[in-house]
Chain A
Amino acid sequence: MRPRLSIYGLTFSLPLLVWQLLFFVAPLAFLVALSFWTVKNFTMRPDFDAVNWITMYGKPVFWQAYATTFALAASASVLASVLAFPASYAIAFKLSDTARRWAVFLMVIPFFTSYLVRVYSWQIFLSDAGIVNVLLGYVGLGPYPMLNTVGATMVGYMTLSLPLVILLQLFSLVFIDRNLIEAAHNMRCGRVRTVFEVVIPSARVGLVIAALFCFILTFGDFVSPVYLGGGDPTTLSILITDTTKSGQQWPRAAVIALTMIGTLLAVAFFAVRFAYAGNAKGARK
């Protein structure tokens, strides 16, 4: 029997539907349409021509930027997950309730400041005459080139995503059944082995979702590759700005944007499938 629609139910579900239609589906549909428009003398004309797709997909520089961006975002996801786990583990299992609340509050504080400002402030630390190199100079080291490198871009990515990854990991770790950990210890399972055999599998969904959010945020980020990486190497977000600088080629920029959206959807799909695959297998046992 089909559930009956009620006014009460619609009151709460319709705004979400309208929101999604207005601010996600409609712009996405326009972006798809835009990718088939043509540009003549700096003016965009509604059209239905696949030339933008053929041109962009035929450019080696596009695929080079795609591979670079994918590799950077994947590396950032792994790095953020590895760096975040000890912190989220300690907050979840080692701190008192009060200290945990303070830790969560501290993780939220970075979001109070503009990401752009935080990235600009890293320049003061990482430049050749910056704070880090000056400190290294006191012990007779350096200066080391840090700014305008891939490493600096990664620092920016961590600035963007690490607090969020810690929070997401934390929320999955705090809900782990402590009896499982105690049972493991009772069965003489060591602390480290318990982490890998019990904690991580139990928090698998949250850990994968945290890494996925890091991937999503960094894959489309423009600020860190430009202001910390010096625009070198070219990422897809930089390629979008380059493309729009060439005679109003917004339709070609739309092709890049749609490719990015498609990639993110595919990655999200596989990540979620991977995250829940273990649970389903567990349920069958």
Chain B
Amino acid sequence: MTKNRTTAQGFSRRTFLGTGAAVLATPMLSRRAFAAPTELTMLAWYGHAEPDIVAEFEAENNVKFVPKYYTGGDNMLGLISQSPPGTFDVILSDAEYVQALNAAGYVEELDANDYALSDYFPEFQNFPGNWQDGKLFSLVTRFGFLGVAYNTDALTAAEAANYNIFWDPKLTGKVGHFDWHLPNLGQMSLLAGNANPYDIDEAAWEAVKEKTTTLRGQIGGFFDYGGTFSSLNDGQMLAFAGIGDWITGVLEKNGAKVKSVIPEQGGLQWSECFSIGKGSAKADLAKKWIQYITSAKGQAKSAQMAAYPALIPNAKGWDVLQAENPAEAARQGMTKDAGNAMDLIRTGRIQYRQWPIQQDLETWNDYWSEYKGA
């Protein structure tokens, strides 16, 4: 009969070794239990990697987003081109820049079967710019309309529902421009009667320039993102061209007397799309994020983003939003009522914001600089 050797305190050698091994292994166990979250880099407009949008996904997947925010598509392209491949796992881009991302080989091809595209409204299932040569490279995740933004103390909705209101003498010096040529000149092109505001010939372009130039005397300033917010909020500007609910929606929620309206000449549509960065070492996780944010639940969150609200292309997302926050669904027109956001698109009142087709981008930008300096 063998007998365990025991110490004076009553520990056997086996117990001692076992306890020791358990103590030594504890840090390893706890390391597994409390593993550091995987970092997922996101290149996006401000707000997309803030807690109101990503907290749930981060907790469920033990992920920590590391955002790099940009201020405009050119800024985004600059950041990507100056970074080694694989720097950004997830890239959010305005739709007109997706083709530039594609052309430069900055994004991975997506498999349409991985995403709930069938839940999307038909208009967004084959969204232009997302596809190239039958291949999917990005997925539209939210969009919004650009029209006339106005101070509700200064103008009625009926008055604001026409781009000609910008020329009203009572608004002299009180009309602001969001300082980017594409939305402003697109709106002027709509006012000039161009059904496809960015696909215009030279004569039509000259007419757009001529009409726009007559507005210069009404303009109180050219503002960036922050300046647009503050000048509308404090009533310094009473009407604004080139923006929409993505600015006024935030101010409206905070009690400012501002709104946006789609004028009778029509409005423009901006669209944001998610892609997976070329060479991402975490492409699976990036895919999982895009699946989440394009799902009905993620879409409802996206629609209510604290930084700036937006419309969502997922029809089931509309249902979730209506159940969660009916007031916001109604405010943004994401209800089943007639005249909702999809009806605006289907009745042809909304055109995509895009790069000019018959002129190059530089031509439009040069005119914008001339206009500003006039």
Contact = CB atoms under 8 A, between A and B. Distances in A.
A220 interface: no
A234 B234 contact: no
A68 to B, nearest CB: 8
A41 B234 contact: no
Interface of A: 41-44, 59-61, 64-65, 68, 120, 123, 127-130, 145, 147-148, 226-227, 229-234, 238-239, 242-250
Contacts of A44: 81
A128 B74 contact: no
A242 B372 contact: yes
Contacts, number: 102
A128 B236 contact: yes
A246 B77 contact: no
A65 B173 CA distance: 21
Q: Give me the 9 closest cross-chain CB pairs, A-B, nearest first.
A: A230-B221, A231-B222, A246-B365, A148-B221, A234-B373, A61-B373, A61-B369, A234-B372, A64-B373
B362 A246 contact: yes
Interface residues of B, number: 36
B75 to A, nearest CB: 8
23 contacts: A41-B100, A41-B103, A42-B74, A42-B81, A44-B81, A61-B372, A68-B373, A123-B234, A127-B236, A128-B234, A128-B235, A148-B221, A226-B227, A231-B224, A231-B227, A234-B369, A242-B365, A243-B369, A244-B74, A245-B181, A245-B365, A248-B77, A248-B78
Contacts of A249: 362
Contact of A232 (B100, B180, B221, B226): B221
A127 B206 CA distance: 36
B362 A232 contact: no
Nearest to B363: A246
A37 to B, nearest CB: 12
Contacts of B327: none
A243 B74 CA distance: 10
A39 to B, nearest CB: 10
B220 interface: yes
Interface string B63-92: 000000000101101100100000000000
B156 interface: no
B222 to A, nearest CB: 4
A59 B78 contact: no
B236 A41 contact: no
A163 B369 CA distance: 34
Nearest to A128: B236
Contacts of A61: 366, 369-370, 372-373
Interface in B336-374: 361-362, 365-366, 368-370, 372-373
A246 B363 CA distance: 9
B234 A129 contact: yes
Name which of A130, A227, A229, A242 has the most chain B CB atoms within 10 A of its CB.
A242
B230 A123 contact: yes
B114 to A, nearest CB: 28
B373 A230 contact: no
Given A64-B373, A245-B72, A148 B78 contact: no
Given A147-B236, A239-B369, A246-B362, A232 B74 contact: no
A61 B361 CA distance: 17
A128 B237 CA distance: 10
